[in-house]
């Protein structure tokens, strides 16, 4: 009788482990990690450093790495 109980527990653990793995795989397929796309790089009009366009500060005559450089280039 003890052996049957032990077998039932082992089968339950295996079943839980397999269903957990299956749900992990399913969630991976549902939401694949977005590949990091190439970011457009721009050049600071004051110091010439390259930075992603999203981090650039937009000025009147160009893009800058910081608002400090925008003020220095565009007084
Ligand atoms: Zn700069």
Residues 2-26 pLDDT 10s? 888 888 888 888 898 988 887 666 5
Pick the range with the lowest mean pLDDT from 28-32, 34-38, 67-71: 28-32
Using CA atoms in the order 63, 68, 69, 75, what is the torsion angle rounded to 10 degrees?
100
Structure tokens at 37: 């796309």
If you measure from the C-alpha of residue 37 to the centroid of ligand 1, how many angstroms do you get, rounded to a whole number? 24
Domain ranges of the chain: 1-33, 41-73
If you measure from the C-alpha of residue 38 to the centroid of ligand 1, how many angstroms do you get, rounded to a whole number? 22
User: 0.75 exceeded by the pTM?
Assistant: no
If you measure from the C-alpha of residue 50 to the centroid of ligand 1, how many angstroms do you get, rounded to a whole number? 9
Give Cα separations from 69 to 8, 30, 49, 54 (angstroms). Answer: 71, 44, 11, 16
Answer left, alpha or beta for residue 34, where phi above 0 means left and psi between -120 and 50 means alpha. beta
The number of residues in the chain equals 75
If you measure from the C-alpha of residue 31 to the centroid of ligand 1, how many angstroms do you get, rounded to a whole number? 38
């Amino acid at each position: 009788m003890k052996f049957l109980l032990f077998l039932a527990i082992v089968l339950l653990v295996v079943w839980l482990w397999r269903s957990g793995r299956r749900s992990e795989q399913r969630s991976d397929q549902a939401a694949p990690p977005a590949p990091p796309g190439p970011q457009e790089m721009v050049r600071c009009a004051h110091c010439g450093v390259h930075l992603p366009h999203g981090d650039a500060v937009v000025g009147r005559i160009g893009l800058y790495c910081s608002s400090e450089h925008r003020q220095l280039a565009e007084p």
